[in-house]
Chain A
């Protein structure tokens, strides 16, 4: 999130789109209800009338996979009706920047931007560039009139998204589109804000990144970034998944979102040259310019004393990706299916149920030599070889199930959607022989290290040179019990030697060897500091000689009344609660919204001697406001040019979001483009040629599969349900796989609520109970009736043991996704539905418990 959970209470308008917080983040409704109590309006745009919709002030249905059309219409509406926040747009975004005159857009090129190579299905982004002046800084038109300025290009691009056309594509009634646009447009004033909440409903599409980009453009136009009650807020789907991306668990990043090096970047210098952005804009902070400090500090953290200036701080020991290597989820399982892996650690996950194309994934697991599944319970992955359609005789995979303990049986931090890192304590001892993941890793590391020492192997140093000082060691050198505080401190970072400020005379001691580094501003690229994750530098610090775990703080004070609560735990970066908050003030440092001031600049007071300073949230850097010609800085400090990007030249599939149909779409053509039905950077033809079974990737057969399907969650179950299906009180509430469908579709198919039905896609078949409901209605798309169904993905054959729960919706999902992130397109695909059997009566035990009144 750019903002945070509690901040939702400050919003005048809350747009819930691509998520369902009432069901899946129920506690967030506390803050949303507070916003409503203050007069705020909740808008819910969703294919289904969800639990969130039930308390919304405005609900608009939308066909799954058409969010860009909807938001494109919104941008058009805001611009046509002059509802944008002009000062903010001119001063804090790239709207005035002039773009290369050769840049062309889909309106002219029938669905693509300039630079498209049809064979490679890639863009040459040369024309997606600003015009630069002699100083190397973009040329600007602050009047926003130049036809080549970003603002005018934006206007031209989205002028094609008329409400009429948008309504035809999305199936959203015109009056509903306009009502939503009007409400959101009302926050283009300085003293009104809108916030957006989104989750997998936006990300899990072949245009996932562009979905989010579209609303970022809206928020920049309305001046809602950096404001209380504003921002673009991802509702993370797991309590600590923010932590997992922060700490580099994805293949393309190291900790703190440092890019993973590729093999061609042979030295640290090569890495720094490639990944350290520079800027010619003197008023831009360009914070990523500090990259070398963070990568060196990271290397010092993991290799400790073994990392020296002479050996490039151990950079050679860092694993590297091959050039252009895709090691994302889809790529890994595709390789596994083609027999290209020996072993697999399925650590804290259940891919047999969570993966798209789950059926093939289950088969792929059978091609491994061995698999280690670390989990709290047995599950569909660990026991894949016993699953439906499996022949254990023919499966040679050796499976190890290592029991790990739950989050309440161990101590440590959890990083939530708010970037808030909260320390948790151990409530009870782990059950049986289960162990914290960290202890399992400790054991694994020690044994692998011993093997490398004994047997040497191809490249032992990356393991042998690791620093592993997490506790007292036994005689063999194994850490007896991993002290999670030591890990947290290493993540924060230490001074590796006495560090001096040499700009003064005599040199001033800044940090003593062995002290915790106070924040990432103090990190250096010369090996004198270490930090396991620069973003978390400041989370475990020292004050007056006392060590303070900032994440464990529980102060409830809220001096601004905005819910910033600066003494409650710690949020990155630097305990800042709302990022880009320098955009919440005008160039003099006065808050745009005096009723909800996130920051305010207090000039120096000659009378009292108080120095000039910011008050409120932790500012995005201490520099004075922009009105200070010499030292003032632009607000978007992580961007090289210091302003928010309406023109997103860094993405692979276009600088402005454009509507394309999902891979599996119910309409024969994309109304926005004759030539390009789906995202042009997806190599459809190449993938189909490569795949042994092309329909496994996706199917264009709308005759066989005419119904749009989507997936979602329920309050009662967690992810694939590995934990929650084992909790009787939860399973009682949500016992079995179901599919929700409209009254109209059910009537067509002769289906009644509670009947057993079969849902099929090109990937597989699933039987489940039907929920026939008013909450889904058919869509009118380009004069055709399109039906939609939806399913949760929390069930699996392995438990309940009698299989009564049903199996995972992910058996049906296409094995393809967004070209930037490669996240699968789980939210819009095609299925068919047919009835299997009549509704079965309620289970005997429940019936007996009812104590009938003597009526049947």
Chain B
């Protein structure tokens, strides 16, 4: 029986090989874009309608003078209470759905979204994930390989990862794995943490402060709902999860 899923992305095992980035492109048959070498291995520079999975590179020098090179295989977090769905239900109903079994957050390609609606939907995502094709008037992002998962397979990125940095499975199993691994890693790296584990289905483990990996790696509010949303008064009372699934 297919049930609620989660990813565990252990960046302490990630070597930035970008197999996941390429596998995602291949499975979704997303096109390549023309890029330039801008002083980093990271390319394309950002997520887009052609790039659902992007390994972000950041380097610096640590407190003891050691070089640091961090890899962050960015993708949609498939939030438990996805803010993009909250906004879309008001501004572009039907464009964001929550799969009943896996709880994957899916952008329905058949539902058109206006540019104004998209602006709000993108702004509300604490991780800056949603992207928009203006010509087709639709949004796209990571699909959790819902077509593969529905057939009992794992997502393409997870399948490809050679080091085991990417794991996928039932949420309870993944949560346990993440907590155990955090304990192991904390023995060596005191600052290690799981990023927003209660709010998202894609749980990252980082050995250093999340902002050293990427500006939008983590969100302040544990529930994944930011003050930004509250300020924009988009938030309206939600009685229960079932309200969302509809």
Interface residues of A (CB under 8 A from B): 22-23, 26-27, 29-30, 33, 49, 51-55, 59, 714-716, 728-738, 752-755, 768-775, 777, 804, 839-846, 849-851, 853-854
Contact = CB atoms under 8 A, between A and B. Distances in A.
Contacts of B51: 849
A853 B35 contact: no
Contact of A774 (B34, B50, B59, B119): B59
A26 B17 contact: yes
Contacts of B122: 851, 853
B60 interface: yes
Given A729-B26, A775-B67, 16 more contacts: A22-B17, A26-B162, A27-B162, A30-B163, A54-B16, A732-B33, A735-B35, A735-B37, A736-B36, A754-B39, A775-B69, A843-B33, A845-B33, A849-B33, A850-B46, A854-B119
B21 A55 contact: no
B182 interface: no
Contacts of A774: 59-61, 67-68
A777 B31 contact: no
Contact of A49 (B50, B67, B131, B164): B67
Interface string B53-77: 0000001110000111111000000
A734 B33 contact: no
B45 interface: yes
Interface residues of B, number: 50
A846 B15 contact: no
Interface string B145-175: 0000000000000000011100000000000
Given A728-B31, A842-B45, A846-B45, A55 B37 contact: no
A839 B38 contact: yes
A51 B15 contact: yes
Contact of A33 (B49, B123, B163): B163
B67 A730 contact: no
A772 B67 CA distance: 13
A29 B44 CA distance: 25
Contacts of A755: 39
Contacts of B3: none
Contact of B15 (A54, A729, A754): A54
Contact of B32 (A714, A732, A754, A844): A732
Interface in B82-123: 119, 122-123
A26 B43 contact: no
Interface of B: 12-19, 21-22, 25-26, 31-41, 43-46, 48-51, 59-61, 66-71, 119, 122-123, 128, 131-132, 134, 162-164
- Choose among B39, B119, B131 the residue with the greatest number of A CB atoms under 10 Å from its CB: B39
Nearest to A732: B32
B32 A729 contact: yes
A755 B69 CA distance: 21
B17 A715 contact: yes
B17 A753 contact: no
B16 A769 contact: no
Contacts of A26: 15, 17, 19, 162-163
Given A51-B69, A54-B15, A849-B49, A736 B37 contact: yes
Contacts of A804: 36
Contact of B123 (A49, A735, A853): A853
Q: Give the 5 A-B CB pairs with smallest separation, nearest first.
A: A753-B39, A728-B32, A849-B48, A736-B37, A22-B15
Contacts of A55: 12-15
A192 to B, nearest CB: 20
B36 A29 contact: no
Nearest to B54: A733
B189 to A, nearest CB: 12
B59 A850 contact: no
A733 B22 contact: yes
A723 to B, nearest CB: 14
9 contacts: A23-B15, A51-B15, A732-B33, A732-B34, A734-B41, A735-B43, A737-B37, A769-B36, A846-B34
Nearest to A34: B164
Contacts of A840: 36
Contacts of B15: 22-23, 26, 29, 51-52, 54-55
B8 to A, nearest CB: 15
Contacts of A843: 33-36
B166 to A, nearest CB: 12
B153 to A, nearest CB: 20
A238 B129 CA distance: 38
Contacts of A731: 32
Nearest to A32: B163
B44 A732 contact: yes
Contact of A753 (B38, B44, B66, B70): B38
A177 to B, nearest CB: 16
B51 to A, nearest CB: 7
Nearest to B133: A851
B77 to A, nearest CB: 18
Instruction: Indicate the member of A52, A774, A839 with the most B CB atoms within 10 Å.
Output: A774
Interface centre among A22, A52, A849 (most CB of B within 10 A): A849
Contacts of A27: 162
Given A774-B60, A774-B61, A850-B48, A33 B71 contact: no
A790 to B, nearest CB: 13
Contacts of B69: 49, 51, 53-54, 775
Nearest to B130: A851
A752 B32 contact: no
A777 B32 CA distance: 34
Most chain A CB inside 10 Å of its own CB: which residue of B26, B40, B128: B40
A706 B17 CA distance: 33
Contacts of B41: 714, 733-734, 771
Contacts of B32: 728-729, 731-732
Given A23-B17, A736-B37, A59 B163 contact: no
B37 A775 contact: no
A849 B36 contact: no
Contact of B38 (A49, A729, A769): A769
A752 B39 CA distance: 8
Contacts of B39: 738, 752-755, 769-772, 839
B75 to A, nearest CB: 16
A775 B68 CA distance: 7
Given A774-B60, A849-B50, A850-B45, A59 B33 contact: no
A52 B17 CA distance: 10
A59 B128 CA distance: 34
A33 B18 contact: no
A33 B18 CA distance: 17
A807 to B, nearest CB: 14
Nearest to A769: B37
Contacts of A714: 41
A768 B38 CA distance: 11
Given A33-B163, A51-B69, A769-B39, A733 B34 contact: no
A29 B162 contact: yes
Nearest to B67: A49
